[in-house]
Amino acid sequence: MGQGTDAKEGVNLVYHRFSAFHRFNHYLVMLSFFGLVMTGIPLKFRDSIWAQMIMDLVGGVAAAGFLHRVMAVVNILYFILEFSYMAWYVVARKGPIFHEDSIVPTKKDWADMKGMFRWFAGKGEKPKLSRFTYWEKFDFWALFAGTFLIGGSGLMMWFPEATTRILPGVSLNVALVLHSNEAFLATGVIFIFVHFFSAHGRPESFPADEVIFSGYLPVEHYIHERPQEYENRLKAGTLHEVVRPAPSPRRRRMFKWVTAAITFFAFLAASYTVLLVVWPLIF
Amino acid sequence: MGFFRGDVMDRHCAGRDRSTAGLARHGRRRQIVLVFGLALLLVLAVASPAVARDVEGCLICHGDPDFVDPTPNAGEPTSLYVDSEMFGESVHAQQPCSACHRGFVLTIPQHQVDVDKDFRQVAIEACEACHPDAFMSYQTSAHAKVYYQDDAGPICISCHGSHAIRRVRLGEESAEFKMEMAKDSCGRCHQDKFDRARDEFHIKALNLGYERAATCFDCHGYHENLALHSGEPETVEACRECHPGANEGFTYFQMHLEPHFMNAWWGVRAVYLFFSTLLIVVLVVGIAYTTVHLQKETRILLGVFGGGLGRLFGFIRVLEEESRGNGKSNNPLRAERADQDDSDVKDETEGGE
């Protein structure tokens, strides 16, 4: 939420958390996810009047099918980009894998989770979280696995004739069940109940965490949110690598508007999806 | 036809003998007039307002909604009413009644000459007279087999109706029409199959307005009513109508499965069961965890249910302060400030308990 620091006090520093590459990938994920859900989920809940509404809005089932495939290509693109980045990180950059800076789950995540539950129960302090928290890692790997499964089964159904040249026709039944159920899981659970709330809905970042759109957050926000990483960097003397002067006010304003627009759209999309899913259960 | 006699035409004929050219042009003009006239007639015939022709005057009596069989065999009197407006909109509106109701005479009270003839046989013969191809296809179908063997199967009018048969162009049916036909014609007897097909991609897409999506008769045929078992050549042919690259393996896609895939291959059921379980587990755990997490960080539930609106506004004020970064140092490199932040958090936590 906070936009850098108060210029009056003279200090104007931000913590640089996400590179342009990662932000670009998140934009791609958002774009393809909303596109895919909007054109895909009305088929699953076609009895809801809202399904017909969104189909008419998009321009009919044929147009929705075309859009779904375009967004699937975007989906595959970001998957390849992310996969290439991980390969580059491991092979070329030789970055640490089982480390707090990496997205791979470690023992500390297990300890953090237990610590958080203790804190929920009022039996201890809040654990000091590091660069990636355990719920962020869950978000990432759930999406990673989900993309692989949904993308694979989607490609099978996109080219059914080619698929059945290799596999029996019943494989398309499996693909359909998997695609539909995993997509619903991703939509309803990861994005509405978990991702939107755990990444954007926490009081530090409510209603949307700008850091994924702009790449930076105010340093005091950072210290409050990721005390462990801050301490580690302070000890290792690498704080200067991530702390930078704040961008120009114009740029900060721009990101504020970008975040506001995306938040509004995400809220709309989430409400629509909930409505679509809940409607047939009630009426 | 003035515009056909333009400069282009004259220049084209300039080299020829004038009179011959004139004659040829005259003949061509007559041809053109004839073609346009016929086209106009056709357009008029198609676009004319729907009115039943009724040259025999049957609707004088049968057009009365209260017109019933005056000699009921038993119980309720049979209505003999024909909705003339509905019939007027049907594809057979221009046909005289006797075109189908063959073997009837205009004597009252008994119209039918051969009284003992089964009305269904009369009906089939009536359709066959004008639609021999459809009738031949029907002869090979499972429907016909049941009709001829057990005297119970559906005949033409069972699916098509009789007086309200609509005008459609094959291959240009609207999604609504295809959906309606599948529901009312096929679904009337094959309710279970229709209900299952509704949960499949083809009819889902059709239901949402995609007129090219296949419905019952696009695969099973209009009159042949093929059973379409997996691996059979006729099934491959049926799939190839829309999926030109379909092979034998393609036909092993399982159609019309029961809810929850009860009659599907075990692999399908396993995947379905796994993901349904996963969905419920992640949903329950996710909602529970998120609620606890957010509650701990914001105490918003306490605010809403415990302390009333005052606490809720307190929560909003906390958010605002958080967003402004109030009460915190702007210098990140002073570790003691960070420590104090932590102790602030601790104080808050203890205060809340």
Q: Does any CB of chain B come closer than 8 Å to the CB of residue A243?
A: yes
> Is B327 a residue whose pLDDT tops 50?
no
Q: In what order do the strands lie in the sheet with A13-16?
A: A216-218, A13-16, A243-245
> Is A221 a residue whose pLDDT tops 90?
no
Task: Using CB atoms, pick whichever of A161, A178, A219 lies closest to residue B243.
Answer: A161
pLDDT in tens, B235-250: 999 999 899 999 999 9
Task: Using CB atoms, pick whichever of A62, A181, A204 lies closest to residue B279.
Answer: A181
A257 band by pLDDT with thresholds 50, 70 and 90: very high
Residue of A206, A234, A242 for testing the chain B interface, max B β-carbons within 10 Å: A206
Is A183 inside a domain boundary? yes
**Phi, psi of A173, rounded to the nearest 5 degrees:** -60, -45
Domain extent at residue A77:
18-95+133-214+247-282
> Is B311 a residue whose pLDDT tops 90?
no
Q: Does any CB of chain B come closer than 8 Å to the CB of residue A177?
A: yes
A175 band by pLDDT with thresholds 50, 70 and 90: very high
> Is B329 a residue whose pLDDT tops 50?
no
Determine, for residues B201 and A193 on separate chains, whether the beta-carbon distance falls below 8 Å.
Answer: no
B320 band by pLDDT with thresholds 50, 70 and 90: low
The domain tally of chain A equals 1
Is A237 inside a domain boundary? no
Euclidean distance between CA atoms A184 and A150, whole angstroms: 10
Residue of B203, B236, B275 for testing the chain A interface, max A β-carbons within 10 Å: B275
Q: Does any CB of chain B come closer than 8 Å to the CB of residue A189?
A: yes
Least confident interval from A79-88, A106-115, B108-117, B227-236? B108-117
Determine, for residues A126 and B278 on separate chains, whether the beta-carbon distance falls below 8 Å.
Answer: no
Per-residue model confidence (pLDDT) at position B153: 79
Residue of B328, B336, B345 for testing the chain A interface, max A β-carbons within 10 Å: B328
DSSP-assigned letters across all residues of B261-321: GTTS-HHHHHHHHHHHHHHHHHHHHHHHHHHHHHHHHH-HHIIIIIS-HHHHHHHHHHHHH
Determine, for residues A169 and B209 on separate chains, whether the beta-carbon distance falls below 8 Å.
Answer: no
CATH code of the domain containing A185: 1.20.950.20
Is A234 inside a domain boundary? no
Report which DSSP code applies to A192: I
B116 band by pLDDT with thresholds 50, 70 and 90: low
What's the predicted TM-score (pTM) here?
Answer: 0.76
> Is A26 a residue whose pLDDT tops 90?
yes
Is A29 inside a domain boundary? yes
B18 band by pLDDT with thresholds 50, 70 and 90: very low
Per-residue model confidence (pLDDT) at position A246: 87
Is A222 inside a domain boundary? no
Euclidean distance between CA atoms B341 and B347, whole angstroms: 10
B50 band by pLDDT with thresholds 50, 70 and 90: low
Sort out which chain B residues have CB atoms less than 8 A from A51's CB and list them. Answer: 208
| Tokens (6 digits) for A134 | 């355990």
Is A7 inside a domain boundary? no
Sort out which chain A residues have CB atoms less than 8 A from B244's CB and list them. Answer: 161
Task: Using CB atoms, pick whichever of A46, A120, A194 lies closest to residue B208.
Answer: A46
Above 0.95 for ipTM, yes or no? no
Per-residue pLDDT, averaged over A257-269, amounts to 90
B41 band by pLDDT with thresholds 50, 70 and 90: low
Task: Using CB atoms, pick whichever of A126, A160, A184 lies closest to residue B243.
Answer: A160
Per-residue model confidence (pLDDT) at position B12: 41
| Tokens (6 digits) for B44 | 């008029």
Euclidean distance between CA atoms A55 and A72, whole angstroms: 18
Least confident interval from B56-70, B218-232, B277-291? B56-70
Is A114 inside a domain boundary? no
Per-residue pLDDT, averaged over B68-89, amounts to 78
Per-residue model confidence (pLDDT) at position B10: 39
Per-residue pLDDT, averaged over A82-111, amounts to 91
Per-residue pLDDT, averaged over B192-208, amounts to 89
Determine, for residues A169 and B249 on separate chains, whether the beta-carbon distance falls below 8 Å.
Answer: yes
Task: Using CB atoms, pick whichever of B213, B249, B264 lies closest to residue A168.
Answer: B249
- Of the two residues A117 and B306, the one the predictor is more confident about is A117
Q: Does any CB of chain B come closer than 8 Å to the CB of residue A241?
A: no
Evaluate whether A251 touches A4 at the Cβ level (below 8 Å): no
Per-residue model confidence (pLDDT) at position B332: 44
Average pLDDT for chain A: 87
Per-residue model confidence (pLDDT) at position A157: 94
Per-residue model confidence (pLDDT) at position B350: 43
Euclidean distance between CA atoms A246 and A3, whole angstroms: 9
Is A229 inside a domain boundary? no
> Is A150 a residue whose pLDDT tops 90?
yes
| Tokens (6 digits) for B55 | 């040259």
Determine, for residues A170 and B253 on separate chains, whether the beta-carbon distance falls below 8 Å.
Answer: yes
A279 band by pLDDT with thresholds 50, 70 and 90: confident
> Is B352 a residue whose pLDDT tops 70?
no
Q: Does any CB of chain B come closer than 8 Å to the CB of residue A203?
A: yes
**Which residues, 6 or more positions from B52, have their beta carbon under 8 angstroms from its beta carbon?**
B59, B84, B87, B88, B93
Task: Using CB atoms, pick whichever of A165, A197, A203 lies closest to residue B319.
Answer: A203
Determine, for residues A11 and B330 on separate chains, whether the beta-carbon distance falls below 8 Å.
Answer: yes
Per-residue model confidence (pLDDT) at position B341: 47
